[in-house]
Amino acid sequence: MKPIPTRTVERLFRYGQLLHAKKEAGAEAVFSRELAQAVDVSPEQVRRDLMNFHLKGTPQQGYPVEQLLRKLYEHLETQAATKIALLGVGNLGKAILSYFLRRRPNLSIVAAFDTDPEKAGRVYAGSQVYHISQLEKIAARENITVGVITVPAASAQQSADLLVKAGIRAILNFAPTQLQLPREIYLENIDITLSIEKAAYFSRKSGTDRRHGK
Amino acid sequence: MKPIPTRTVERLFRYGQLLHAKKEAGAEAVFSRELAQAVDVSPEQVRRDLMNFHLKGTPQQGYPVEQLLRKLYEHLETQAATKIALLGVGNLGKAILSYFLRRRPNLSIVAAFDTDPEKAGRVYAGSQVYHISQLEKIAARENITVGVITVPAASAQQSADLLVKAGIRAILNFAPTQLQLPREIYLENIDITLSIEKAAYFSRKSGTDRRHGK
DNA sequence: AGAGCAACGTTAATTGATTCACGTTATTTG
DNA sequence: CAAATAACGTGAATCAATTAACGTTGCTCT
Ligand SMILES: NC(=O)c1ccc[n+]([C@@H]2O[C@H](COP(=O)([O-])OP(=O)(O)OC[C@H]3O[C@@H](n4cnc5c(N)ncnc54)[C@H](O)[C@@H]3O)[C@@H](O)[C@H]2O)c1
Ligand SMILES: NC(=O)c1ccc[n+]([C@@H]2O[C@H](COP(=O)([O-])OP(=O)(O)OC[C@H]3O[C@@H](n4cnc5c(N)ncnc54)[C@H](O)[C@@H]3O)[C@@H](O)[C@H]2O)c1
């Protein structure tokens, strides 16, 4: 199977959201136009995206919800749940921990790490917090593949290096720093301050009807 | 002045981060290559971005830090601080409130709102929390132009409508929903779950050296 | 059963962003 | 002082992503 572009993957996940809702509601089929609206793109874009895995829809009903969902998740998810480690149990880290507590069965934050001896050993929001020195051992034992960085910017690179050494394959970085990583590690940055700055900027530029966001 | 593309604006803000650091360190000049590394793009990209506002650099020194910073912020920021309202003082909302407490002088969250009568009237992380019914009044009084949505997904559209009614110009939305808004309102979505899903996805696809994030 | 049509599937055209390539310029060096 | 050089400025080429166009398909209706 040919690799699917990042932007497309993002949309596929978002189609998934609507499809779940549709399925809950008992709908059998869905039109490209509905999917398009839910993700704020054109129906052509949707059809093009779905081409990536040869899904057939019919003109009258659109795409069969059940089958589409199955095919989508066949590509987007593994059988086994993805195991995630979070580094930095501060304000943001705790918010994320509490949110992911049994929200998505296939995505679970199985361990949190911090340098603060006060936090290590305790349980926050249902997650065991370990001292950072335990990372490599636990990552190997639990087969953790994704790391979330919510430490202060000054420690972010160091945390990233530890994650790489521990064998993780992808990093979600909330610190406002550009991490230097081996090219085979997937990196996604979420810079909340930057996003607010952008919003502030465009709030002043009138009439620009741009739509953005990961 | 011609409008600057969104992607470029984002990079400009990030150049700003390095420039601040350079200035602190007492550097007089900076090369496109340095800026490029800090943002993970090519030097050509940097030079092209800076073309947007006719900044002249010299081959030997590069760009004058002081002047570049000034010109950058002339375009990126207003004189007056941007005033921000946050809706939904939950886990995530509180983390953001505490983070923005006098972090950036030009970006301040001046009021927070919630429906929960327990929260309204109290002060969280240095911010006064009001009942949502006060939004329109306070937004007008304080001249708030940006709204941050950290309410549950089910309430997000309703919150967005209130913000628009209150006259804000840009929204930063953390709820996993596609908001329907008038075209003149700038919208930026941050979907943390989606970002984690993407990271999980690409952690399995080997060798893709993609770099992403708002 | 055939006309109408609404939405799909796909190819082609367009748009936009990034990279390439190269001429220009301000030092530094022999 | 001319040659070398290192980085800038920018037009042209490339590349990726989106949009447009259009033939195809499988119902519905008369
Ligand atoms: N909270 C927000 O809304 C917000 C907004 C924008 C950016 N950020 C970024 O997110 C990151 C975290 O923000 P926060 O508000 O949660 O900060 P915080 O100070 O509340 O939490 C940081 C946590 O990381 C721990 N830590 C420090 N060094 C560590 C290390 N080397 N290894 C492991 N743990 C370590 C600290 O003990 C602390 O618990 C920062 O980089 C910040 O810039 C946060
Ligand atoms: N916390 C995270 O890490 C995280 C991760 C991914 C997505 N999100 C999204 O961010 C949003 C907030 O998440 P959270 O974890 O902070 O939730 P939360 O339940 O902790 O907080 C929600 C807050 O919003 C308030 N609220 C509810 N309806 C409201 C309304 N109509 N107007 C104003 N306030 C209202 C509630 O009283 C509560 O204080 C949700 O949409 C969630 O899906 C959060």
Nucleotide D27, nearest residue via CA and C1': A60
Residues of B whose CB is below 8 A from A156: none
> Which residues of chain A (59-88) touch nucleic strand C at CB < 7 A?
59-60, 62-63
Give tens-digit pLDDT for A43-74: 999 999 999 878 788 878 899 999 999 999 88
Residues of B whose CB is below 8 A from A195: 172, 188, 190, 214
Q: Is the pLDDT of residue A214 over 80?
A: no
pLDDT value of position B214: 45
Residues of B whose CB is below 8 A from A40: 178
B35 and B46 Cβ atoms separated by less than 8 Å: yes
Which nt is closest to the CA of A58, judged by C1'? C8
Q: What is the pLDDT along chain B (214 residues), one digit of tens a residue?
A: 578 899 999 999 999 999 999 999 999 999 999 999 999 999 999 999 999 878 788 888 899 999 999 999 888 988 889 999 999 999 999 999 999 987 788 899 999 999 999 999 999 988 999 999 999 999 999 999 999 999 999 999 999 999 999 999 999 999 999 999 998 999 999 999 999 999 999 998 865 445 555 4
Q: How far is A213 from chain B (nearest CA, A)?
A: 4
Chain A CB within 8 Å of residue B159 CB: no
Which residues contact residue B178 at a Cβ distance below 8 angstroms, ignoring those fewer than 6 apart? Answer: A14, A37, A38, A39, A40, B189
Fold classification of B6-76 (topology level): Arc Repressor Mutant, subunit A (1.10.10)
Distances (CA, A) of B98 to A199, B80, B93, B127: 19, 22, 9, 8
Q: How far is B136 from chain A (nearest CA, A)?
A: 18
Answer yes or no: is the C-beta of B117 below 6 A from any ligand 2 atom: no
Backbone angles phi, psi at A8, to 5 degrees: -65, -45
Chain B CB within 8 Å of residue A101 CB: no
Q: Which residue has the tokens 């009084």?
A: B141
pLDDT value of position A187: 96
Stated in angstroms, how far is A83 CA from C17 C1'?
A: 35
Rounded CA gap, A209 and A202, in Å?
Answer: 9
Answer yes or no: is the C-beta of B159 below 6 A from any ligand 2 atom: yes
Distances (CA, A) of B210 to A33, A182, A188: 30, 11, 9
B44-50, long-range: CB < 8 A, 24+ apart: B45/B11, B46/B11, B46/B15, B49/B8, B49/B11, B49/B12, B49/B15
Interface of B with A in 178-197 (CB under 8 A): 178, 183-184, 186-197
Answer yes or no: is the C-beta of A65 below 6 A from any ligand 1 atom: no
Answer yes or no: is the C-beta of A193 below 6 A from any ligand 1 atom: yes
Interface test with B, best of A52, A78, A192 (most B CBs within 10 A): A192
The tokens for A200 are: 């502030």
**Contact assignment for A3 to B205 by CB distance below 8 Å:** yes
Q: State the average pLDDT over residues A141-170.
A: 98
Fold classification of A82-194 (topology level): Rossmann fold (3.40.50)
Q: How far is A149 from chain B (nearest CA, A)?
A: 12
pLDDT value of position B213: 53
B44 touches strand C (CB under 7 A): yes
Distances (CA, A) of A164 to A139, A142, A160, B201: 11, 15, 6, 17
Delimit the domains of chain A by residue range: 6-76, 82-194
B150 and B96 Cβ atoms separated by less than 8 Å: yes
Helix or strand (DSSP H, E) at A147: strand A146-149
Residues of B whose CB is below 8 A from A207: 184
The residues facing B189 across adjacent strands are A213, B173
**What percentage of chain A exceeds 70 in pLDDT?**
95
Distances (CA, A) of A137 to A110, A214, B154: 13, 32, 40
The residues facing B88 across adjacent strands are none
Tell me which residue of A186, A118, A190, A185 sits closest to A149, measured CA to CA.
Answer: A190
B42-47, long-range: CB < 8 A, 24+ apart: B45/B11, B46/B11, B46/B15
